[in-house]
């Protein structure tokens, strides 16, 4: 069925009005969760596993490079 000029299908509930599956956080449009994760990481930083941070810290120290501060 082609998309109507109004941008809406009559007689159908909008995506956000659909029931949420058990165990799910909600109903999302494509890319919506990725955009939320990107915004959160922009505010709080990107999580780095403790072992990886330790390895990076050791290498930075050997090379005399300063690492950025941590948010946590």
* Confidence bin at 1 (pLDDT 50/70/90): very low
| pLDDT in the model for residue 14 | 79
Does residue 72 sit within a domain? no
Q: Can you give the residue range of the structural domain that contains 36? A: 26-63
Print burial letters for 56-71: b (CB count within 10 Å at least 16), e (below 16).
Answer: eeeeeeeeeeeeeeee
Domain count, the chain: 1
Does residue 68 sit within a domain? no
Does residue 18 sit within a domain? no
CA 68 → CA 31, 35, 38, 48, 71, distances in Å? 29, 24, 19, 12, 10
| Model confidence pLDDT, tens digit, residues 18-46 | 899 999 989 888 899 999 999 999 999 89
Closest CA to 10 of 20, 19, 23, 1: 1
Does residue 52 sit within a domain? yes
Predicted TM-score (pTM) of this structure:
0.55
Q: How far apart are CA 22 and CA 47, in angstroms?
A: 28
């Amino acid at each position: 069925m082609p998309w109507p000029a109004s941008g809406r299908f009559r007689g159908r509930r909008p995506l956000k009005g659909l029931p949420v599956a058990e165990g799910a956080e909600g109903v999302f449009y494509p890319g919506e969760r990725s955009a939320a994760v990107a915004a959160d990481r922009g505010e709080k930083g990107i999580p780095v596993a403790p072992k990886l941070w330790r390895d990076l810290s050791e290498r930075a120290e050997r090379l005399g490079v300063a690492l950025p501060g941590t948010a946590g």
